[in-house]
Amino acid sequence: MVHDIEKSTPLKEHHQLVWYVKWASSICIVFAMIATTNNLYPYNMILQFAGCLGWLWVSIMWNDRSLIVVNAVACAIFINGFVMYFKEAGQ
């Protein structure tokens, strides 16, 4: 029995830039996790911020409110982390 399942995310053919940003951001977050487990601070935070920022843009393009909220909050948290890191580095 074959079931036709309709995808809810846009196809690559229709939204090429969104597709590339989505995958680049996902790969960036995977590398950020690797950097975190290897205690590569602040590079892990930079990679996580880049990945979340990419996903924030994708979620805005998709008009997906739950992803917008999660990634906007994550970006704000990382910006706070950058401020604290550079504040301590300057002392």
Summarize pLDDT for 22-73 with one digit per residue, the tens: 999 999 999 999 999 999 999 999 999 999 999 999 999 999 999 999 999 9
Check if the beta carbon of residue 32 is closer than 8 Å to that of residue 44: yes
pTM for the model stands at 0.83
State the average pLDDT over residues 65-91.
94
pLDDT of 10 over the 70 cut: no
* Band (20; pLDDT cuts 50, 70, 90): very high
Residue among 31, 34, 26 nearest 53 (CA)? 26
> What does the DSSP 8-state code read for residue 11?
P
* Average pLDDT for 11-22: 82
